[in-house]
Chain A
Amino acid sequence: MSDAAVVDVSGLRIELGRTGNDIVAEIDLEVVAGEVLGLVGESGSGKTTIGMALLGHVRGGGRQTAGDVVIDGRNLGGLSENELRRLRGGVVSYIPQDPGTSLNPALRIGIQLTETLDAHARDRSAEQKAERVREALEEVALPSDDLFLRRYPHQLSGGQQQRVAIAMAFANRPKVIVCDEPTTGLDVTTQSRVLETIRDLCRSHQVAALYVTHDLAVVAELADRVAVMYAGRIIESGPRERIFAAPRHPYTRRLLRAVPDIAGKRTVVGIPGRAALPGNRPEGCAFHPRCPLATDESRTVAPPVVELGGGHSVRCHNHEASFRQPPPEGAGQLGERAIGDDVVLTVDNLDAHYGASHALFAIDLEVRRQECLALVGESGSGKTTLARSVAGLHQFYTGEVRLGGDVLEPSARSRSREARKQIQYVFQNPYASLNPRRTIGQSIARQLQLFFPGDRADSGRRVAECLERVALSASAASRFPDQLSGGERQRVAIARALAAEPSLLVCDEVTSALDVSVQAAIIELLGELRKEMGLSLLFITHDLALIRTIADRVMVMTQGKIVEHGTVTSIFTAPSAEYTRKLLANTPSIEVALGHAAAPAG
């Protein structure tokens, strides 16, 4: 235990209510001043619970049953509620995930910042406080004039809101800062600036930071040390270079293979199986059902922490074997594909309006048989409007959408059944795209009934076939959507779309609501299905790194226009548009952060 550690957590265990099921357990971690510890995990791994514990807060229903959290020499367990309140925002502060909801929409920015100061430094004069507010805003590179102070949160962009939240967090010169996925909702360009701000502030003010996230690439760029969580345990931790270059735990190794990287030419590989959620965690090593190296020992005995030297530790019985094993290979989405000559979809001079605003300007594109065209753009670029126009969900456009040679009507309802069958749409959020009151089987059966009305016999068997195609068992048919995980739901949504036997699948950010390991699995699946069924894909995403493994051609969109168009290789190696170069430079990359690859051209 080093003296310099500002954050010292030992043996922390948080249980859920009286069930005795742990949310997190056996958590040991230290953060020294000026250091950023990246706490990485997928949903349900307990990472946010730990972040909250540093603030002396346990989420509703939870109970801390063992261990100590010591912040700046003070054990939070021994503090009263009043003392904790003084600690929070003063010694420990918090940067939330979504500034849009954490800032009070009814108060001006200046007032909110002053309030933060008031809570902890009552003795300061009004001038001193005003001075401090300005300083805090300047630190995060926001304007500090009166006009800005008088703004309301809704008058700021997402990035600006997050900067205000950061300014609030740093305003009282805290010693510890907890960041809970603060860049999740932001575009890459904004994200990279926000990350830079956080890093600079932590360094210059010697703040110990715990950065909670699911995004390994962000951690690679930002953190000094990394702790990886699975099923409520820290399963591997160590210096950033060690974790990314020589990971030991099978989970870490597979997780890294699931992260798409703009600098790497490798394919992404998903992790099979289901994340272990609290209350439902397997005996022994919680990862064993998904682990190729699992032995009888890992099935029964919880693995102890093994120190590997250099601050690197791992919680695995078989870390030696895991270290020697070559990383898993993907199903090979990369490489040559037989792309047909015939054009499936043509968009010709498309102009679309969204309410009063002009969303798309003279868009032309073509998708050929078995081709995957990726459409990349940040939020507000018009990419979803374009996808919806193609699918017939957005009808306020001029220009033409042609399927094969036939011009399509703007609205799906007025298109022919054949046209609707040929173009299928997969939505971004599988939590919203399936009717919660229908079983999976009913949803898919309805699709079959709509497009193959003459063929009613054997509906059960055909539903099972559709599920099998996306690697789900037939028993999923009797389940309701809320009984499935996010990844499983997205598979169902894909299965439903494919039940129509379309020639073009429009995928609208289909992985953005999912964990990385699940995202990789979905990308793999789409790659395989494309080969098997001769599908064409129109793949819409904000994530440049993702398309490297799936797309043939790429179109980069911004502000309703296509600014760059080319093959995947040409976009990554020789981007021509300024905007593409900016996107590439701002996309976090593990390879680039570690110096294994040069930053992409630009």
Chain B
Amino acid sequence: MSDQTADRALDRVLTEPLPPPGAAASRKRFAVLADAARLARTRIGLAIVAVLVLIALGGPLIAPHSPTEFIAIPNSPPSGDALFGADALGRDVWSRFLHGGSSVLWLAVASTILGMVVGTVVGLIAAYSRNWLDDLLMRTNDVLLAFPQIIFVLLAVSALGPKLWLIVLTVGLTHAPRVARVMRGAALEVVERDFIKSAEVVGEKRWRIVFGELLPNVTSPLLVETGLRMTYSIGLVAGISFLGFGLQPPTADWGLMINENRLSITVQAWAVMLPVIAIGLLTVGTNLITDGISRALIGLDRKGGE
């Protein structure tokens, strides 16, 4: 064990000469991200996500038609005017596609952020307290984990109506117990280290220890978990729209587009395929980035001398 750590220490000493003190802070904070960015998978992921984000945010500006305008015969094939044909109601598929990305994106981002914040706070508090509070939080967590996320969300949305804030809230909150469990696990090891005790002995407040001492030392799992939760959020949000509990017609939305056009998939596949491909690629892209970061963290793809 000590041999391995010595090895690693030796490696570091050998490969990296002591950086100038000024560069130290930035090196420290972004080393993992820089490492990750050197990996092919991360770059591919970043490229995919960048293109899709661009489409989702900039799409409405370049869309040739209004998303709700009837421009052709329903289910008509691609033509000069309608690049990917018309949907089941005769609206331009390409324009609806360009308009329909932003809702998926911001719903997913908002619910991921909510889930990460709540989950991290709960997880870190549980890890630091290690008493009845830990038990209470984690057992509650276990109960919540027993419900499939989608069921929980559908339950809330069908009871209170298809409100967007409700989707963000429920998707976010159902992420939270999952995030909490991971963050608690990551923090448990850090909590045992002496610098935490050293903060206790000088009387630092509990919240300062949790957020000042503990949190900066679990940023790596935090990054990975954020990416992972983003992937799930995209799927969930799109799924909810598909089931009809998200944005309501006639709004353009990728999930909704799949639902509206699924019956005519054999006649006019583009109206389904475009959003499916986009959602799929977005998921794959975020996943690749996450994978790149986690690989950089454990040093899997580091070029060794062996």
Chain B contacts of A479 at CB under 8 A? Answer: 21, 24
Taken together as a complex, chains A and B put the C-alpha atoms of A417 and B18 apart, in Å, by 38
Q: Does A567 lie at the interface of the complex (its beta carbon under 8 Å from any beta carbon of B)? A: no
Q: Is the CB of B2 within 8 A of A98?
A: yes
Let me know if A278 and B10 touch, CB within 8 A: yes
Q: B202 — which chain A residues lie within 8 A by C-beta?
A: 412, 420, 424, 447, 450-451, 500
Of A15-23, A289-297, A458-466, A549-557, the one contacting chain B is: A15-23
A155 within 8 A of B: no
Task: Assess A43 versus B6: contact at CB under 8 Å? Given A412-B200, A417-B203.
Answer: yes
Q: Is A425 a contact of B201 with CB atoms below 8 Å?
A: yes
B80 at the interface (CB under 8 A from A): no
CB pair B195–A420 under 8 Å, yes or no, is no
Tell me which of A170-178, A252-260, A427-435 binds B. A427-435
Q: Which of B223-241 contact A (CB under 8 A)?
A: none
Residues in B with CB closer than 8 Å to A450 are 202-204
Q: For B200, what are the chain A residues with a Cβ–Cβ distance below 8 Å?
A: 393, 412-413
B window 253-298: CB within 8 A of A: none
Query: Does the CB pair B10–A429 fall under 8 Å?
Result: no
A424 CA to B2 CA, complexed, in Å: 29
A143 at interface by CB-CB < 8 Å: no
Contact between A478 and B305, CB atoms less than 8 A apart: no
**B7:A432 contact, CB within 8 angstroms:** no
B interface majority secondary structure: helix
Question: Contact: B194 with A429, CB < 8 Å?
Answer: yes
A391 within 8 A of B: yes
B 21-32 to A, binary, CB cutoff 8 A, 1 in contact else 0: 110110010000
Say whether B13 faces chain A, with CB atoms less than 8 Å apart.
yes
| Given A278-B14, A279-B14, A432-B194: A415 touches B2 (CB 8 Å cut-off) | no
Which A residues lie within 8 Å of B18 (CB)?
Answer: 280, 483
Whole-angstrom distance between the alpha carbons of A282 and B201 in the complex? 41
A427 touches B198 (CB 8 A): yes
Chain B residues positioned under 8 Å from A278 (CB to CB):
10, 13-14
Residues B213 and A480 in contact, CB atoms below 8 Å apart: no
- Who on chain B is nearest to A417 by CB? B203
Q: Which of B7, B14, B203, B304 contacts A19 (CB 8 A)?
A: B14
In the complex the two chains form, is A480's CB within 8 Å of B7's CB?
A: no
Q: Is B250 an interface residue (CB 8 A)?
A: no
Q: Does B1 contact A (CB under 8 A)?
A: yes
In-complex Cβ contact of A17 among B19, B195, B305 (8 A): B305
- CA of A435 to CA of B202 in the docked complex: distance in angstroms? 14
The interface size bin for chain A is 35 or more
Question: Complex Cα distance A593/B21, Å?
Answer: 46
| B217 within 8 A of partner (CB) | yes
> A393 and B201: CB pair below 8 A?
yes
In the complex, the answer to whether A97 meets B2 with C-beta atoms within 8 Å is: yes
Tell me if B299 is interfacial: C-beta within 8 Å of chain A: no
The distance in angstroms between the C-alpha atoms of A260 and B213, with both chains bound, is 36
Q: Which residues of B contact A451 (CB under 8 A)?
A: 202
Are B201 and A436 interface neighbours, CB within 8 A?
no
Residues of B within 8 A of A424 (CB): 201-202
Contact with B along A478-513 (1 / 0, CB 8 A): 111001000000000100100010000000000000
A61-B306 contact in complex given A432-B194, A433-B194, A438-B216, C-beta closer than 8 Å? yes
Tell me the minimal C-beta distance from A137 to chain B in angstroms: 25
Asked if B301 is at the interface of the complex by the 8 Å CB criterion, the answer is no
In the complex, A155→B204 CA distance in Å?
40
In the complex, are the beta carbons of B306 and A433 less than 8 A apart? no
Task: Report the count of interface residues on B (CB-CB < 8 A).
Answer: 36
Q: Does B81 contact A (CB under 8 A)?
A: no
Query: A165 to nearest B CB, angstroms?
Result: 14
Q: Give complex CA distance A438, B213 in Å.
A: 9
Contacts of A62 in B (CB 8 A): 305
- CB-CB under 8 A from A43, the residues of chain B are 6
Q: Is the C-beta of A59 less than 8 angstroms from some C-beta in chain B?
A: yes
Judge whether B305 and A19 touch: CB under 8 Å. Answer: yes
Which chain B residue lies CB-closest to A19? B14
Say yes or no: A44 contacts B217, CB within 8 Å. no
* A480 CA / B12 CA spacing, docked (Å): 14
Q: Is the CB of A413 within 8 A of B203?
A: yes
Whether a CB of chain B sits under 8 angstroms from the CB of A197 is no
A357 CB-CB contact with B under 8 Å? no
A391 CA to B24 CA, complexed, in Å: 33
Question: Is A277 at the interface (CB under 8 A from chain B)?
Answer: yes
Nearest-CB residue, chain A, relative to B215: A437
Whether A428 lies near B13 (C-beta < 8 A) is no
Question: Which A residues are CB-close (under 8 A) to B3?
Answer: 48, 59, 97
A residues in contact with B6, CB < 8 Å = 43, 48
B198 neighbours in A (Cβ, 8 Å): 425, 427, 433-434, 493, 496
Q: Is A439 an interface residue (CB 8 A)?
A: yes
CA distance A500 to B204 in the complex (A): 14
| Most chain B beta-carbon contacts within 10 A, residue among A48, A420, A437, A478 | A437
Among B159-199, those with CB < 8 Å from A are 193-195, 197-199
Chain B min CB distance to A98 (Å): 6
Indicate whether B17 reaches chain A with its CB closer than 8 angstroms. Answer: yes
Question: Chain B's nearest CB lies how many Å from the CB of A406?
Answer: 16
- Among residues of B, the one whose C-beta sits closest to the C-beta of A61 is B305
The CA-CA distance from A420 to B198 in the complex, in Å, is: 11
Interfacial chain A residues near B13, Cβ < 8 Å: 44, 277-280
Whether B24 pairs with A439 at a CB distance below 8 angstroms is: yes
B195 touches A434 (CB 8 A): yes
Known: A279-B14, A480-B28. A18 touches B305 (CB 8 A): yes
Q: Mark A192-214, 1 if CB is under 8 A from B, else 0.
A: 00000000000000000000000
A61 to B13, CA, bound (A): 13
Distance between Cα atoms of A59 and B304 in the complex (Å): 12
Tell which of A60, A429, A478 touches B306, judged by Cβ atoms closer than 8 Å: A60
A-B contacts, 9 listed (Cβ < 8 Å): A61-B10, A61-B11, A280-B18, A433-B194, A437-B217, A450-B204, A483-B18, A483-B19, A483-B24
Residues on A lying within 8 angstroms of B by beta carbon are 16-19, 21, 23, 43-44, 48, 59-63, 97-98, 101, 277-280, 391-393, 412-413, 415, 417, 420, 424-425, 427-429, 432-439, 447, 450-451, 475, 478-480, 483, 493, 496, 500
Counting from the closest, the 9 A-B pairs by CB-CB distance are: A17-B305, A437-B216, A433-B194, A478-B21, A279-B14, A432-B194, A427-B194, A61-B305, A435-B195
